[in-house]
Amino acid sequence: MVHPMTATPLNISAFLDGTYLPPSRLQFSDTEVLMATVAVQPAVVSDKVNGSLKHGCCKGPGYASPIEAMSGPRETILYVTCVYSGTGREKPDYLATLDVDPSSPTYSKVIHRLPMPYLHDELHHSGWNSCSSCHDNPTADRRFLVLPSLVSGRVYAIDMKNPKAPSLHKVVEPEEIVAKTGLAYPHTSHCLASGDIMLSCLGDKDGNAEGNGFLLLDSNFNVKGRWEKPGHSPLFGYDFWYQPRHKTMISSSWGAPAAFTKGFNLQHVSDGLYGRHLNVYSWPDGELKQTMDLGNTGLLPLEIRFLHDPSKDTGYVGCALTSNMVRFFKTPDGSWNHEIAISVQPLKVKNWILPEMPGLITDFLISLDDRYIYFVNWLHGDVRQYNIEDPKKPVLTGQVWVGGLIQKGSPVVYVAKDGTEQQIDVPEIQGQRLRGGPQMIQLSLDGKRLYVTNSLFSTWDRQFYPDLIEKGSHMIQIDINTEKGGLAVNPNFFVDFGTEPEGPSLAHETRYPGGDCTSDIWI
């Protein structure tokens, strides 16, 4: 297979030491995992609630606080976006409903599939029409799941009145979005306390990053316009998270759709087609107040999360290419700053396209009590758990290998410090070899179960894990020790999307009917 990264390779050490070198061969600087002692005092998360009302009683959707959410009911069904776009199978993408109730006869099975009405959408991330930010509004209802289509630009509103059999409610066509806002390539969706829905869009209809910004839909999914003030669009778009008590929204930056939709090419980084910035906005008025350059150790900042406690002024962003978890925080003068909190060391490898392999942090989340952070290394194949009770000094407390390019049976080997060639022993689950690498994760409300899928983006899947295109994705579950830390694969849970009725599909993001760690924001 001819790999795009071999055509015009770029020396990443040039980024890391601040000097650009002519294209030669890819090299990563040695970075060490920063682990320190956890502070004695635990993080305190506000658990004040308006009375003792629980989810579904008299109030709006969600929960009054993150701590209250942790005592919510155990998840029994999940929704997963599943993709045929880019696989060569001319089938529409669909939303799968999974049974995750251990007492059910259909446990870990797909029990419903809702196909979209069009081909080539590339369903990706999703969000609710309302969440815990609307908890004090008794007229709000978490009734609709919003499904942006990253490639086609459509936005689907899915009616969840029947939780086990969702139905299509409305389609917002890309032509309308472009005509009214100029935006395309929608990615992240968050509900607002106003009842509106806000989506980050990664470019214009031609895939230029400079056309990106934030789309506003009203509660009936009509296009209202752009959220940010004119002239205040970011350099690149991707994920975003708002923290109303600090009157701030911060967004991250993947790259130009014209680049990433064709596959990953390191030369595009040198050409300025990928981001390394965080964009700080005033909330809710949409004025770009500050742009933080993460520098050469913050390439491709993707998922971004504040701590759940709405009083806190700190959060993290996962920088994929340089495999750093960066902490951002408010300074005494009211501006924002950043520092590297965790670094994943690249591995020396043989029989791969490059002499060193980055971990490629593609997704992470924070437990609702702000005690633990979880992230994946899509290429290396491991899932990690860190204690962040001291947010400045994360401590590694759990790690499990569930796929990756260096597992036994792969042609790729890594070279240990003593010079020996080694591979990772990744146990099978229910007789199934784990394909691809861990990619999207979702945590149960109580923090005890982590669900993991393995598709990133169909073009990148084909590039790095062609077996996913042929054999499809899977979902696994990791059991979590929430007291002392620790991760263990659940041998009784395995959802094989390689055996779907219409052929193998690519499973991406997961949602729960009652909200989850990555969709709910508290005010």
Q: Output the six-digit token pair for 164.
A: 């086990």
Inform me whether the pLDDT recorded for 13 exceeds 80: no
Inform me whether the pLDDT recorded for 40 exceeds 50: no
Are 282 and 335 in contact, with CB atoms under 8 Å apart?
no
Instruction: Write the pLDDT tens digit of every residue in 436-483.
Output: 999 999 999 999 999 999 999 999 999 999 999 999 999 999 999 999
Are 119 and 171 in contact, with CB atoms under 8 Å apart?
no
Inform me whether the pLDDT recorded for 39 exceeds 60: no
Cα–Cα distances in angstroms (integers) from residue 220 to residues 56, 130, 143, 216, in the given order: 22, 12, 12, 11
Question: Residue holding tokens 């696994």?
Answer: 476
Q: Output the six-digit token pair for 35.
A: 């682990």
CA dist., res. 6 & res. 352, Å (int):
11
CA dist., res. 321 & res. 48, Å (int):
39
CA dist., res. 445 & res. 417, Å (int):
40
Per the prediction, the chain carries an average pLDDT of 90
Inform me whether the pLDDT recorded for 5 exceeds 50: no
CA dist., res. 188 & res. 519, Å (int):
10
Span of 59-63, 221-225, 296-300, 410-414 with lowest mean pLDDT: 59-63
Inform me whether the pLDDT recorded for 140 exceeds 90: no
Separate counts of helices (H) and strands (E) for the chain: 8, 32
Inform me whether the pLDDT recorded for 356 exceeds 70: yes
Instruction: Write the pLDDT tens digit of every residue in 378-403.
Output: 999 999 999 999 999 999 999 999 99
Specify which residues 223 forms β-bridges with: 217
Cα–Cα distances in angstroms (integers) from residue 8 to residues 4, 270, 348, 376, in the given order: 8, 10, 20, 27
Measured between its terminal Cα atoms, the distance across the chain in Å is 50
- Which pLDDT score is estimated for 114? 98
- Which pLDDT score is estimated for 514? 86
Are 228 and 282 in contact, with CB atoms under 8 Å apart?
no
What's the rounded mean pLDDT across residues 136-161? 95
CA dist., res. 62 & res. 77, Å (int):
17
What's the rounded mean pLDDT across residues 50-74? 71
- Which pLDDT score is estimated for 139? 87
For 128, phi then psi, to 5°, come to -95, 155
What's the rounded mean pLDDT across residues 489-506? 98
CA dist., res. 10 & res. 262, Å (int):
17
Specify which residues 403 forms β-bridges with: none
* pTM score of the predicted model: 0.89
Inform me whether the pLDDT recorded for 3 exceeds 60: no
- Which pLDDT score is estimated for 16? 39
- Which pLDDT score is estimated for 298? 97
CA dist., res. 92 & res. 75, Å (int):
27
Instruction: Write the pLDDT tens digit of every residue in 410-447.
Output: 999 999 999 999 999 999 999 999 999 999 999 999 99
Closest Cα to residue 161, out of 121, 114, 118, 123? Answer: 114
Inform me whether the pLDDT recorded for 167 exceeds 50: yes
517 vs 305, residue with greater confidence: 305
386 vs 28, residue with greater confidence: 386
Instruction: Write the pLDDT tens digit of every residue in 190-229.
Output: 999 999 999 999 999 999 999 999 999 999 999 999 999 9
Q: Output the six-digit token pair for 411.
A: 């042609």
Q: Burial of 488 by CB count in 10 Å (0-12 exposed, 13-18 middle, 19+ buried)? A: exposed
CA dist., res. 220 & res. 107, Å (int):
35
CA dist., res. 363 & res. 92, Å (int):
25
Inform me whether the pLDDT recorded for 45 exceeds 70: no
DSSP 73: P
* 133 Cβ contact list (under 8 Å, min separation 6): 62, 191, 192, 193, 244, 520, 521, 522, 523
Closest Cα to residue 118, out of 177, 173, 175, 167? Answer: 173
- Which pLDDT score is estimated for 206? 97
